[in-house]
Structure 1
Amino acid sequence: MFAEYAACLAAVGRFDESRRVLDDIARRLPARSHLHDHLTLSRIRIDALAGADRVKTAEAGASLGERYRSGGWFTKAVEAFYHSVRLHPSPSVADALHEVAGRCDSRLFLLFDRHARAAVDGDADGLAAVADALAEWGYNGLAGQAVATAAEIAAERGEHRLTARLRIRGRELAQSCEGYWPPWTATFEQQAALSPREREICELAAGGMTNDAIAAHLALSKRTVANHLQHAYGKLGIRGRKDLPAALGMPRPLPPVGPAWTTGGPTRDGVGEGGRNQPHETGPTPAGISPSSRCQE
């Protein structure tokens, strides 16, 4: 219980305190107690959260997983291997995780196995599917880590639209977690580099302005505004203006009011949205997301 408490302290950024708790427990345990392995697992979790060397921390997790496996502690082996392969995807560790997960009766462990295999295979779509399943079960922190890995893979391959969509999804998951976000998880910043004019127009559109109002405000033609929005949608990997707030990391707009919002007609940004003086929809909450979800596994 105290080992879990220490890991929870680290999950909210209280690293020195978490290590003091572990050191105090270690001094109280008999030297040959098997509980020292549980403390080791907590140290691995703390090191990962604190941003320690990922490869070394992953190797420590793999070594601990082997000790657990050889001792018949298969559920603990799954946990150790899963931490290792998330930090540094390794085919041998993924194989070990697959073997011990198959010896347990947990559907969640089978999902961990899928996560590990997709990470090792560089399967961004597979990782995104795993993230959706984890989020549906309430594991938003783990889902965010899967999405982060997927976004890194997509970015390395130059798949800009997919990268943008994944980072938007990652921001949604991060916002559902109120605790500390691991530094070894990729930051979910906007992937595409918008031109200054594209960004300006997108921010106005995200705030609720119609195309006509934006054109009047910036002294541009309506066609120019629509073209800039279409180019930006492609860069951001989104379908229309209702997705702009999330893509730009902005809050959703309130229903538009005042003269500045009523100067134009339908938005006509090429995707069939809009209408005179229509309030913006806030949209549904992403499936499986709740403030009480498990975010810091």
Structure 2
Amino acid sequence: MADGTLVATFIGGLFDGRLPEIDPVLDAFDEDALQRVDDPYRGMWAFLRGRSALAQGRLGVALPLLRESAAVLRRRDPGSVLAWCLAALGQACGATGDAHRAAAAMAECDRVHLPVMRTIDVEIDLGHAWASAAAGDRTEGAQRARAGAEALAARGDAAIAVLALHDAARIGAPARSLLAAVDAAAGSAEGPVVASMARHIRALADDDMDALLEVAEGFAAVSMPLLAAEAAASASRLAAARGLRVRQREATSRAATWLAECGPALTPLIETMAGRAALATLTRREQEVALMAARGTSKRAMSEQLGVSIRTVGNHINHVYGKLGISTREELAALLSLSS
């Protein structure tokens, strides 16, 4: 399959909600390419697999693939894909809250991007948007995503314009301010993903808890667990504000289930409940160990307090790290502090 066909297949799958079906095709081509060390397209195939994982919100899968792709493409990039890969890497790092790596990816992206490659401008806009959000400037991030959407709409790229507007809402743009643009773009675009993104923005604008939960299920149905978790997290916050504790717990539980598939995700829509959602994915004993570790309690002290061996404590900590997609106590403390 030619590289152009692979890209077209990926883009079609993104908006048709068929990315999980396309992944095995990409895997097969990637495995074939890896048998030939000098294959010029092995970096592209790794990129498309990583970009597919990013679109699905599976950041723990996306990050290593995008880094692998960038390493290959820096050596040989016949399709001029490196800038696109770095833009995707910037988005992925930004969505984990890693401002330093997101900024580094986007700085390199700007250096290698060829002005004639206008088709990936939106990816670069979104990379900068998520890098800004991770650095704490959500206003700038949302504006960058919105500007990309406006340029796309002017060119008639309605489906991708909705995606960019959706990212603007996810980063922090007031959802109601996006409705006119979303309605205009969504009206001339097709596909279940586009429809779900438009409904998500509408539900955020209307503070519609039930609609948010319906949107969450819609994203989950097309294997986009991060977007599903974000919608459920928003529903959880609305339920909490209205004193609906049972509904809040239900929404939080759903968000936690989907977040468990995403790796180290930390986007604006989930960060205020990330600690609670993360804890909900752990066993009761793992929760105890996680909270102690986040407070700086030593393994020996945990062993004494819990009445288990130091080795068992270490095993629990490793399980916690694995489930939450982290590797240090500092990351654990940062994650759990968000639930206060």
Q: Which structure's residues are more often helix, by fraction?
A: 2
| In structure 2, C-alpha distance between the alignment counterparts of 1:123 and 1:89, rounded to whole Å | 15
Change in Cα spacing, 1:39 to 1:249, as seen in structure 2 (3 Å) is: closer
1:122 CA displacement: 0.4
2:166 to 65, 79, 82: 82
Tell me, which stretches of 5 or more residues in structure 2 are unaligned?
A: 1-83, 286-340
Change in Cα spacing, 1:16 to 1:51, as seen in structure 2 (3 Å) is: closer
1:12 CA displacement: 4.6
Match of 1:67 in 2: 151
Q: Does 1:187 align with 2:219?
A: no
| In structure 1, C-alpha distance between the alignment counterparts of 2:237 and 2:173, rounded to whole Å | 13
Match of 1:58 in 2: 142
| In structure 2, C-alpha distance between the alignment counterparts of 1:81 and 1:91, rounded to whole Å | 11
1:26 CA displacement: 1.4
Give the fraction of aligned pairs with identical amino acids, expressed as a percent: 23
1:93 to 178, 198, 203: 178
The answer on whether the counterparts of 1:62 and 1:80 sit within 8 Å (CA) in structure 2 is yes
| In structure 2, C-alpha distance between the alignment counterparts of 1:248 and 1:62, rounded to whole Å | 34
1:95 CA displacement: 2.6
1:117 CA displacement: 0.7
1:160 to 238, 241, 245: 245
* Aligned positions of 1:177-256 closer than 5 A: 177-185=262-270, 186-188=272-274, 250-251=282-283
What RMSD, in angstroms, separates the aligned Cα atoms of the two structures?
2.9
Q: Which amino acid aligns with 1:187?
A: M
| In structure 2, C-alpha distance between the alignment counterparts of 1:9 and 1:249, rounded to whole Å | 23
**Per-residue CA distance 1:126-172 (angstroms, 9 max, x = gap):** 10111011112211000011011111222222222211221122222
| In structure 2, C-alpha distance between the alignment counterparts of 1:53 and 1:24, rounded to whole Å | 20
| In structure 2, C-alpha distance between the alignment counterparts of 1:183 and 1:41, rounded to whole Å | 15
Change in Cα spacing, 1:29 to 1:178, as seen in structure 2 (3 Å) is: closer
Tell me: higher relative CO, structure 1 or 2? Use CA pairs within 8 A at least 6 residues apart. 1
Match of 2:193 in 1: 108
Q: Which amino acid aligns with 1:75?
A: A
Choose 1 or 2 for highest CA Rg: 1
Change in Cα spacing, 1:21 to 1:113, as seen in structure 2 (3 Å) is: same
Q: How many residues align?
A: 199
Change in Cα spacing, 1:20 to 1:126, as seen in structure 2 (3 Å) is: same
TM-score by length of 1: 0.58
Q: Does 1:38 align with 2:123?
A: yes
The answer on whether the counterparts of 2:259 and 2:265 sit within 8 Å (CA) in structure 1 is no
Q: Does 1:127 align with 2:249?
A: no
Tell me, which stretches of 5 or more residues in structure 1 are unaligned?
A: 192-245, 254-297
The answer on whether the counterparts of 1:102 and 1:110 sit within 8 Å (CA) in structure 2 is no
